[in-house]
A and B are shown apart, each in its own frame.
Chain A
Amino acid sequence: MSKKRVVSATINGNTTEFLCEPRQTLLEVLRNVLNMTGTKEGCTNGNCGSCTVLLNGRPVTSCLVLAVEADGASVRTIEGVACGSHLDPVQQCFLEGAALQCGICTPGFIMQTEALLEQNGHPTEADVRFHLAGNLCRCTGYDKIVRSVLAAAEFKRGEATT
């Protein structure tokens, strides 16, 4: 076991310091050191997308990022999406659109959608399907997820014009 390192990162807007071993992934630290269990583990090899977080605004599978790599970075997780007691538009559209069944993949989909809508306010169905192809869902068949993402994009466009 090698020595633990001190890592300082901005997590959901808060400056956070934590200790971790160099071999620990960002996912492991979020869940087991910081007790932020909203980010889910599905495969630990980057294939399912359940652990997606935004690292400096870019979606990453946190199981493939070492926690020490987050030093000095900004990390956004599912716990930082809702604003106080208000759901974010993406969350609200997923809720209204019945876009989740078991819900284990949902945090990853929300984070991936946040990233998409940051880049592209007018995604087509094909854009959505392409962008979300790295996130696996085994329950829904994706239909209601894709519709909810499109609805969230539309809602955000409406918000932007008012």
Chain B
Amino acid sequence: MATGEKRKYKVIGTRPLRHDGVDKLTGRAQYGADIRLTGMLHGVVLRSPHAHAKIKSIDTSAAAALPGVRAICTSADFPDQVGRIVELGEGAVNMRHLSANVMAHDKALYKGHAVAAVAADSIHIAEEAAKLIKIDYEPLPPVMEVLGAMRDDAPLLNDDVRMTEMGTVKPETKPSNVAAKFLFTKGDVTAGFAKADIIIEREFRTATVHQGYIEPHNATVLWNADGKVTVWMSTQGTFTARQQTAELVGIAVSDVKVVPMEIGGGFGGKISVYLPPVAAILSRKSGKPVQIQMERAAVFEATGPTPGSFMRVKVGATRDGKIVAGEAWIAFEAGAFPGSPIAPGCMCVFSCYDIPDARVEGYDVCVNKPRSNAYRAPGSTQVAFAMETVVDEICEKLGVDAAEFRIKNGAKEGTRRVDGPVYHRIGMIETVEAIRDSEHYQSKLTGPNRGRGIATGFWFNAGLKSAVVATVNLDGTVSLIEGSTDIGGSRTGIAMQLAETLGIAAEAVKPQVADTDSIGYTDVTGGSRVTFATGIAAVEAAKEIQKQMVERAALLWEVDSASVKYEDGKVIGPAEKSFSFAELAAKIHEVGGAVIGHGTSSSAEQGGAFGTHCVDVEVDPDTGKVQILRYTIAQDAGTAIHPSYVEGQMQGGVVQGIGWALNEEYFYDDKGVMRNATFLDYRIPTCYDVPMIETIIVEVPDPAHPYGVRGVGEVPICPPPAAIANAIHAAVGVRMRDLPMSPPKVCAAVMQKK
């Protein structure tokens, strides 16, 4: 339940039914793979069987001769890209690398790397044709692990990659797998550690894990005879998908229209494009619309996982429990091309604490795995696992309560982060207090091999750009068009903010997500930004409607508009004149045309989000299996717009974090081939693996939003691995520093301790 004494709002904080609910419950909602176009062909992408290989030649003649095959493409069909750096809404991308990821140029850099594609009358013909494409590979030794890839004698993936620091390359830097170095310092770390009574320094590893959305990537593209390209797809951001597609196939951005279909999960993995440029080329060559849907194995092998990592974290504290210094060395596996979330990883590792002296050094390193991509609070879960288990060990050694230690050292308004800026109003300490005071934390846990752990996590939350258009209908409803694709009910969250501002019911707003030709530029649904930033745009649009409604009322009453005001969903004039919103809506056409409100927002950053988790586990010492007995999450949501969907984000993030903690990992053999590219063997949690996830919504309003919203989507995934590791320690006395904490590893650790 949301905290707070008195209901401040009429709509915000209530739980209306989501507007797209019935469509999704009856199978009517149209997802990317559901679109059917006349004459549509089916495409298949042929992928490299090698983790690292030179592509010496590609012979497509036999495939082209198969009846029913309409087009074949390879990288030769794509325009050359110089190594231009393009801002793609969520970050800067090297276009040459993006192009080579969509279709391998001269080298295959990971098993599953796309090397050719076929479009045919049926999926089965396309599959048969793909098998007829002959590719002459020269296999090269792969490098699969971050520290190995950093060695001078490691196999080199990209000969155009040199280590950059602050965007520049030092002269005479040789090509290497190390693509970037980041360094953040605060104060004097040596002097800081000199003040410490206790110093804990530990090393950690985390495995490559996948976002694991249930809907595979898909794209349906028509390259029309007039040169205009339409893409129907499942994407977190239509505008970035449009820009990537246009750049990769070499046409103007305005010649591409991206139509957002419903999206079956993203978690950061549906921002980069994979299929639309390929389907576009196949459509151009065949003159027909082409649909490609990725197979599940390709989703694992060839779309962005989050990086595996190696981390060393050192923290010093005084005897009375005050952190005095911190130092971290972090290396992330970028995958085949540079671009891991190493920078946010570095910026998050100490972000929950007020640490006077700190130093963080991080490296972005290429390995023969798929190009990594954003995954829910990118980089933060890895570093939280390291930092929060070190903190737990300090608490253990000092004999202090883990919650009290976090309250004493927690970041708050005015705390300077290691990357420099000072926090505005944040709710880190409030989330720890909420856990400390919870019935769960206060309860006694009994029984053998059972233990309790807590951990805190942080995510920045992005702002970025959003646009909405809202039109008043004569029946008193409002049609709301937005550019933010809706992955988890955000349509309703945005509609509620518009409704609150107008003083109408959430049900009176009809939200709709529009294509790139029908709404202004909107950044991705990601970075926990939509309810915040698109919400701000909706509030702006509502204010514009208020203003116009006041003017219309003044015209109807034939009074000066200065004597009319909008209040509480009513328009009030002189001499006790008043209209309800619906009454006035019915009359607007008597004195003018449509009433349309526009809103845009472009904020760079919202207030940060924090969450603290508490978990009870039971460890089976004979098998190493860890059972989650009870789980409680407290998170600062700023202001919870729709509490059910805030809880949903919290619960979903926790369970993803439990999967990351206990089971999920890419298993590679010595040839660099992933051996568990199915949902059977890449084991995401089922409902049988987890209990109910208890939620405590903490509300410390963000001053940067009119209703105080903070994004809630990402931070819940950060604390679970550390909280569970700390609980395992409490249960059986072993410290796990290698994710996932799968049964064999836990079992071995318990045996070793015995």
Contact = CB atoms under 8 A, between A and B. Distances in A.
Are A and B in direct contact (Cβ within 8 Å)?
A: yes
Interface of A: 1, 21, 23, 28, 31, 35-45, 47-48, 50, 77-79, 81-82, 87, 91, 94-98, 100-107, 110, 125, 128-130, 132-147
B508 interface: no
B415 interface: no
B15 interface: yes
Contact of B488 (A48, A94, A102, A142): A102
Contact of B264 (A31, A79, A94, A102): A102
Contact of A139 (B25, B488, B685, B686): B488
Contact of A37 (B34, B488, B690): B34
Nearest to B23: A103
Contacts, number: 185
Contact of B25 (A41, A94, A125, A133): A94
A134 B684 CA distance: 11
Interface string B263-304: 111110000000000000000000000000101100000000
B563 interface: no
B680 interface: yes
A38 B26 contact: yes
A141 to B, nearest CB: 3
B264 A40 contact: yes
B402 interface: no
Contacts of A44: 295-296
5 contacts: A44-B295, A98-B18, A103-B25, A130-B688, A138-B656
A30 B212 CA distance: 25
Nearest to A98: B644
Contacts of B20: 103
A110 B22 CA distance: 13
Interface string B4-34: 0000000000010110111011111111011
Interface of A is mostly: loop
Given A44-B295, A96-B17, A144 B26 contact: no
B124 interface: yes
A79 B651 contact: no
Contacts of B651: 140-144
Query: Which 10 A-B pairs give the minimum distances between C-beta atoms?
Result: A38-B27, A104-B264, A103-B24, A141-B651, A141-B655, A78-B27, A98-B644, A101-B488, A47-B679, A142-B687
B603 interface: no
Given A23-B124, A129-B687, A140-B652, A104 B34 contact: no
Interface in B686-709: 686-688, 690, 692-693
Interface string B535-560: 00000000000000000000000000
B685 to A, nearest CB: 8
B39 to A, nearest CB: 14
Given A139-B648, A144-B648, A132 B687 contact: yes
Contacts of B649: 101
Nearest to A42: B214
Interface string B708-751: 00000000000000000000000000000000000000000000
B408 interface: no
B263 A41 contact: no
B645 interface: yes
B262 interface: yes
B654 interface: yes
Nearest to B210: A138
A54 B371 CA distance: 39
B503 interface: no
B264 A103 contact: yes
B197 interface: no
A107 B34 CA distance: 14
Contacts of A110: 25
B25 A102 contact: no
Nearest to A77: B27
Contacts of B679: 42-43, 45, 47-48, 136
A30 B416 CA distance: 58
Given A78-B27, A141-B653, 9 more contacts: A42-B214, A42-B296, A98-B647, A101-B652, A104-B215, A104-B262, A130-B688, A136-B679, A139-B652
B678 interface: yes
B260 interface: no
Contact of A42 (B15, B24, B215, B263): B215
A147 B390 CA distance: 36
Contact of B678 (A45, A78, A82): A45
A101 B647 CA distance: 11
A147 B644 CA distance: 12
B599 interface: no
Contacts of A103: 20, 24-25, 29, 262, 264
A28 B293 CA distance: 13
Nearest to B645: A98
Contacts of B652: 101, 138-141
A95 B25 CA distance: 8
B451 to A, nearest CB: 22
A22 B218 CA distance: 26
A141 B27 contact: no
Contacts of B24: 100, 103, 106
Contact of A41 (B33, B267, B488): B33
B690 A21 contact: no
A132 to B, nearest CB: 5
B526 to A, nearest CB: 14
B548 to A, nearest CB: 34
